[in-house]
Chain A
Amino acid sequence: NAGVTQTPKFQVLKTGQSMTLQCAQDMNHNSMYWYRQDPGMGLRLIYYSASEGTTDKGEVPNGYNVSRLNKREFSLRLESAAPSQTSVYFCASSGHGQGAREQYFGPGTRLTVT
């Protein structure tokens, strides 16, 4: 039982390049989330998916797109990377009912845009 996995762990991009961050969970959770973590700002929600087939914007969606590929997988795409997107990105998932309030996090992807 791996929980939430993310790939890659590290990435360096040049301004304007694109990339996709991958996330998968094996806990049969309905909901999945993408956050970014910046110094002094805590975690900010980029996008989330309440269930397979649905996605919604979070607090800071500009410059990102997401795909909920199936119940297990939720990817985050940067179409044209900018230095302001240098951050640590975390994927998380949560179940249903009262358990929907607890989120389980992946190990993160550390992205640098030069």
Chain B
Amino acid sequence: GDSVTQMEGPVTLSEEAFLTINCTYTATGYPSLFWYVQYPGEGLQLLLKATKADDKGSNKGFEATYRKETTSFHLEKGSVQVSDSAVYFCALHGGATNKLIFGTGTLLAVQP
């Protein structure tokens, strides 16, 4: 079945460091891919999305490119801030099922 694998955390970075959180997926058909962010004590918010191969989603300085050849959707940001500290979830919405499949989440902690 469809699945998402993302790197385990926590990821601890200093402010202004470069961020990469890896995400790979397995899916039949042509899934849409998402990154969600969960700030402490809150629900999930959609951060960015890509609906087809080679699409790049971007928002708030974060980017991720839908790579069908490597079945990946890695999240990147050039310069993280303390306010980016949160849990990040990679997810796919597959063609086979009408459901979102989530990775286990990666905790990012940014230190000043």
Contact = CB atoms under 8 A, between A and B. Distances in A.
Contacts of B103: 42
B104 A100 contact: no
Interface residues of B, number: 19
Q: Is the interface of A mostly helix, strand, loop or mixed?
A: mixed
Contacts, number: 44
B24 to A, nearest CB: 15
B98 A100 contact: yes
Interface in A45-69: 45, 48, 50, 58
A102 B51 CA distance: 11
Interface of A: 4, 31, 33, 40-43, 45, 48, 50, 58, 90, 92, 98, 100-108
Interface of B: 32, 34, 36, 42-46, 49, 51, 89, 93, 98-100, 102-105
